[in-house]
Amino acid sequence: MDLSQLTSELEKIGAEAVQLAQGASSTQDIDDIKQNILGKKGRLTKVLRGMGQLPKDERPQVGQAANKVRDTIGEAVAIAESRIEHEARDRLLNVDIDMTLPTALSDLSPMGSHGVGALHPIVRTSEMILSVLDGLGFRRETGPQVEHDFYNFESLNFPADHPARDMQDTFFIEDDVILRTHTSPIQIRALMAQGEPPIRVSGYGAVFRHDQDNTHSPMFHQIEGLWIDQETSFAHLKGVMNTFLKELFGEQLRTRFRPSFFPFTEPSAEVDMSCFQCDGTGVAANRTLNNEHGQCKVCRGTGWVEILGCGMVDPNVINGVGLSSDVYRGFAFGVGVERVAMLRYGIAHIKDFYESDVRFLSQFVGQG
């Protein structure tokens, strides 16, 4: 398909999906729309596969059209879900129920039969990070977990067959459809949807890589930030990173920036922060927090802990979404939610987050 055919087909799919949502009468109808139109083998995904056949300068236009159609469908589905939920609730309320009957309480919670619930540490940590970014002026954005290669790799300066792709062991659904390996596609979608900067967005969600050990999981969560404007510099990046990390770990924190490599930023840096357990000395005050060599267990005696990656947005990325890198500059950064949670709460193994062990989760009742 050429550009006009692709955009026309996208509009047709959007109109049909809205009509189906308006006529939906059950949750199964909604699930069918999500699977048949928005799913990994849905009509929208199939149309987007044709994007790779277009010239590079036309792809952003298709991306913008696809974002608009996806948003339109999402809004129609949300309205339909709300309507169906309210209709079900109305039906339930019309049933005669004796609300005075006693209930049987089960003693399944470590906190007693009236167990007090608590947010999962991943949810708690994510909201904490996003709240800090809210205060710095970043607008929250989300995106699909099943992503097209264009958004996940190509638009982020990962050309096909480039060695940089080896950095991210990818789960492929089809040749050009994958489980997203990072939340950076959210930034690309936000740029394409908004058009001209200034733009400040934060993206949150689950990401997937074929990686597993004590500190890595095939699924984990990332939060990324993007700031693009005409006068943005590395000094702005350092200022935001310092403020961001001090809000999370305390004013006493010190940071250092080490040169690194990411395909989508240049220059790039890894950010280390002074170890909060030993105050950067390498030896924790509490001896139980030291290893057999007398070193702090958190930083392993170095006094520093790696916390996130960042850098100035590569000109190729800016140009690739239809903007001019001669006019606009920006920076981006990303942090692993599990890593922050493990550091804050002293959790040694990432798998603890996902085993649904009530004994582990009950530790977070009442914590901030």
Give backbone dihedrals phi and psi of 174, rounded to 5 degrees, phi first. Answer: -140, -175
- Cα separation, 283 vs 275, in Å, equals 10
Q: Name 311's bridge partners.
A: 268, 332
Q: How far apart are CA 194 and CA 101, in angstroms?
A: 55
What is residue 106's predicted lDDT score, i.e. its pLDDT? 46
Residue 332 has pLDDT above 50, yes or no: yes
- pLDDT(162) > 90: no
pLDDT value of position 104: 55
* pLDDT reading at 251 higher than 50: yes
Which position has the higher pLDDT, 188 or 107?
188
Please report which confidence band the pLDDT of residue 108 belongs to, taking 50, 70 and 90 as the band edges. very low
Predicted local confidence at residue 56, as pLDDT = 82
pLDDT single digits (tens) 109-152 = 444 455 667 788 999 999 999 999 999 999 999 999 999 999 99
Checking if the pLDDT of 275 tops 60, the result is: yes
Taking residues 66-90, what's their average pLDDT? Answer: 89
- pTM higher than 0.85, yes or no? no
Burial 192-222 (b: 16+ CB within 10 A, else e): bbbeebebbbbbbbebbbeeeeeeebebbbb
Query: What's the whole-number mean pLDDT along residues 280-289?
Result: 77
Per-residue confidence (pLDDT) for residue 282, from 0 to 100: 85
Q: What pLDDT is attached to residue 327?
A: 95
DSSP 60-88: HHHHHHHHHHHHHHHHHHHHHHHHHHHHH
What whole-number percentage of the chain has pLDDT above 90? 43
Among candidates 349, 339, 225, which has minimal Cα distance to 273? 339
Do the beta carbons of residue 19 and residue 37 sit within 8 Å?
no
Per-residue pLDDT at 258 exceeds 60? yes
Tell me: cis bond preceding 259? Omega within 30 of 0 counts.
no
| In the predicted structure, residue 50 carries a pLDDT above the cut 60 | yes
Q: What is the pLDDT of residue 114?
A: 53
> Mind listing the domains of the chain with CATH numbers?
3-93 (no CATH), 121-364 (3.30.930.10)
Distance separating alpha carbons of residues 279 and 297, to the nearest angstrom: 13
Q: How confident is the model at residue 214 (pLDDT cuts 50, 70, 90)?
A: low
- Residue 17 tokens read as 């999906």
Q: State the chain's mean pLDDT as an integer.
A: 86
pLDDT for position 107: 46
What is the mean predicted confidence (pLDDT) over 226-251? Answer: 94
Spell out the SS3 assignment of 255-294: EEEEEEEECCEEEEEEEEEECCCCCCCCCCCCHHHECCCC
Lowest mean pLDDT among 190-204, 289-303, 318-332: 289-303
Which residue did the predictor score with more confidence, 297 or 243? 243
Taking residues 5-18, report their average pLDDT.
Answer: 88
Of 82-96, 211-225, 292-306, the one with minimum mean pLDDT is 211-225
d(CA 200, CA 215) in angstroms, rounded, equals 30
The average pLDDT across 161-171 equals: 72
Instruction: List, in order, residues 6 or more apart from 366 with CB less than 8 Å away.
Output: 116, 118
How many percent of the chain have pLDDT more than 70? 90
Greatest alpha-carbon span in the chain: 71
Q: Which stretches of the chain are assigned E, i.e. beta strand?
A: 139-141, 146-148, 172-174, 177-179, 199-208, 219-229, 255-262, 265-274, 304-313, 329-336
**Cβ neighbour number for residue 171 with a 10 Å cutoff:** 14
